[in-house]
Amino acid sequence: MKPDPTTNLRTELARHDNVIADHYRIGAYFYDTIVHGFQLFIGGAREWRNSFIRFIHPSCNETFLELCCGTGAVALALAKRTGGPVWASDLSVDQIRVACFKARFLRRNVHFSVQDASSTGYPTSFFDGVIISGALHEIAPHRRAAIYRETRRVLRTHGRVFITEPDLPKNGWGAACFECMFGEWSREHETAYQLVGGGLEAEMTVAGYKLEASATSNFGVFKHRRFAVSG
């Protein structure tokens, strides 16, 4: 895969465009600890990750790409299950730096790179599965739409998109915890609420996908979905 000379410019535009902007410059080095801390009250990040990997149910002969991979938790877990190679990218240089360190330490076969998920340099119709984990809820709507288009470009005809994002359970402990995390005080409030209660499914339908399966974890605060290209 040759590097695309316009990638840097597009990545820079995406950075400006995103709510998150420079959020992960320092946050990357504490990111895993923060995720684990936040999720202690809803059954733990390990449960979220493990249930998502079970939901994906990867097999060794499939090619996977994780977009917005952060520090690589899902891509690294997939590589452990399949033996790799797995491809994964993120907008944040620092998140990818941490991800690469983890891959070296754990000896996992993952090709990490810095890329804007809405306009990547991956080949067309290359992947059996594209994965997005806990990222869309902090991305602006027009860039989310561009990310969905990009998943279609890189996905094989019979490929699948797997997404796990926070959801708002109807009531109880999960609903209280969701409100704590994404209440009006949160910088992610608006974008997180756009995706709950079927919002993400509606956006994916517009993008040309149909929902095939879904499951929840962590008191209903996370919802995993599997989408196929419709029609």
Ligand X SMILES: C[S@@+](CC[C@H](N)C(=O)[O-])C[C@H]1O[C@@H](n2cnc3c(N)ncnc32)[C@H](O)[C@@H]1O
Binding site for ligand X (CB under 6 A): 14, 18, 20, 24, 35, 68-70, 73-74, 90-92, 95, 116-118, 133-135, 138-139, 143
**Closer of 21 and 172 to ligand X (Cβ):** 21
CB of 171 to ligand X, least distance (A): 25
- Closer residue to ligand X, CB minimum distance, 134 or 174: 134
Which of residues 91 and 177 has its CB atom nearest to ligand X in the complex? 91
Name the residue whose CB lies closest to ligand X. 70
Show the CA angle centred on residue 130, arms to residues 128 and 135, nearest 5°: 170
Strand ordering across the sheet containing 127-133: 110-114, 86-90, 64-67, 127-133, 155-166, 222-229, 209-217
**Pick 28 or 168: Cβ nearer ligand X:** 28
CB of 88 to ligand X, least distance (A): 9
CB of 192 to ligand X, least distance (A): 11
Strand 155-166, strand 209-217: pairing: unpaired
- What is the C-alpha separation between 156 and 100, in angstroms, rounded? 27
Looking at the DSSP assignment, which residues form a beta bridge with residue 155?
127
Contact 156, 124 (CB under 8 A): no
